[in-house]
Amino acid sequence: MNLFLDGIAWIFDPAHLNGPGGIWVRIGEQLSYTFGAVALAAIIAIPLGLWIGHTGRGRDVAVLTSGGLRALPSLGLLIIFALAIGIGFKAPLLAFVILAIPSLLSGAYAGVEAVDRRTVDAARAQGMTEWQVLTKVELPLGLPLLIGGIRSGVLQVVATATLAYFASGGALGVFINDGLKTRDYAELIGASIIVTVLALLLEGIFALLQRLFVPRGVTAGRISDVRSRPLRPRAVVGSPIQEGK
């Protein structure tokens, strides 16, 4: 446990916290990668995902592509970009955008698809246009899953952004690289603690957001019966999945 105490002591050393290459700056870089990459990925993936979910077209392609993208090792991807477009912040950012896309894409189409088809039919039968069906029915009801996708993308990138230092892109990985080189275990553990706490904080914030965005009525209880308990236990806000940490 002493190592962890050393790590914590390392974090709170003012010499490490402040200054141009200090902890605060690196945290800022880590978060910039996270939100920057997710925002860019969202611009591409969410409209595409909604379209796929609404029309049902291109679903198989989307499933296959996002499956394939998930299998990509994030470290390799990042390094390929670094070699191709040069070191700096662009290469990691691009790699992280690609990492975030599968989660956002599947969150968007799965959200729309998860909406009960009878509800959609009913909306259409009442005379809603396709646009209205999408924006007034499918989107609000699919929102929890969509946000889940964003959450999972954010967590994936915040964890993976640690690797940006391989492309000389800064962020918290710089400390880990330093610690590994100089065998400074306090620095290694300290930086690891910061990354983990950052990820847990974001996870908490998104868990809360997701809970807020479950439409009222969807979470309402269901009848029970001696014969059959409800097949689907009520929706529970769950946890994300990320691969390329």
Partner 1 sequence: MNWVVNNLGLIWSLTLDHIALAVPPIILGFLISIPIGWVANRYHASRGVLLTISGLLYTVPSLPLFIALPAILGTGILDPVNVVVGLTIYAVALMVRSVADALAAVDSGVRQAATAMGYSGWQGFWQVEFPLAGPVLLAGLRVVSVSTVSLVSIGSVIGVSSLGYLFLNGLQRNIVAEVISGIVATLVIAIVFDLILVAVGRILLPWAKADPSARQTRRRTAERALTGTVTS
Q: Could you say which residues in the range 215-244 bind partner 1, by CB under 8 A?
A: 227-229, 231-233, 235-244
Please work out, in degrees rounded to the nearest 5, the angle formed at the alpha carbon of residue 114 by the alpha carbons of 113 and 119: 90
Site string for partner 1, 87-116 (x = CB under 8 A): ---------------xx--xx--xx-xx--
Q: Which of 27, 40, 72, 209 binds partner 1 (CB under 8 A)?
A: 72
Long-range CB contact pairs, 82-85, < 8 A, 24+: 82/166, 82/167, 82/168
Nearest distance, CB of residue 107 and partner 1, angstroms: 4
The residues, any chain, with a CB within 8 Å of residue 227's CB and separated by 6 or more, are none
Interface positions, 193-212, toward partner 1 (CB under 8 A): 193, 195-196, 199-200, 203, 210
CA–CA separation, 143 and 39 (whole Å): 17
> Would you count residue 83 as binding partner 1 (CB under 8 A)?
yes
Give which of 179, 152, 155, 148 is closest to 165, Cα–Cα.
Answer: 179
> Would you count residue 188 as binding partner 1 (CB under 8 A)?
yes
Give which of 145, 201, 182 is closest to 30, Cα–Cα.
Answer: 201
Contact 156, 245 (CB under 8 A): yes
Specify the stretch interacting with partner 1 by CB under 8 A; choose among 18-26, 122-130, 133-141, 142-150: 142-150
DSSP 192-206: HHHHHHHHHHHHHHH
> Would you count residue 64 as binding partner 1 (CB under 8 A)?
no
Q: Which of 23, 41, 163, 164 binds partner 1 (CB under 8 A)?
A: 163
Q: Which of 180, 205, 208, 212 binds partner 1 (CB under 8 A)?
A: 180
Give the residue with the Cβ less far from partner 1, 55 or 196: 196
Give the residue with the Cβ less far from partner 1, 64 or 129: 64
CA–CA separation, 203 and 205 (whole Å): 6
Work out the end-to-end distance of the chain between its first and last CA atoms, rounded to an integer number of angstroms: 25
Give the residue with the Cβ less far from partner 1, 91 or 133: 91
Q: Which of 31, 45, 148, 170 binds partner 1 (CB under 8 A)?
A: 148
> Would you count residue 62 as binding partner 1 (CB under 8 A)?
no
Give which of 32, 39, 245 is closest to 159, Cα–Cα.
Answer: 245
Specify the stretch interacting with partner 1 by CB under 8 A; choose among 16-24, 33-41, 130-138, 157-165: 157-165
Distance, C-alpha 199 to centroid of its chain: 10
Nearest distance, CB of residue 239 and partner 1, angstroms: 2
Contact 221, 234 (CB under 8 A): yes
Give the residue with the Cβ less far from partner 1, 170 or 244: 244
Give the residue with the Cβ less far from partner 1, 49 or 133: 49
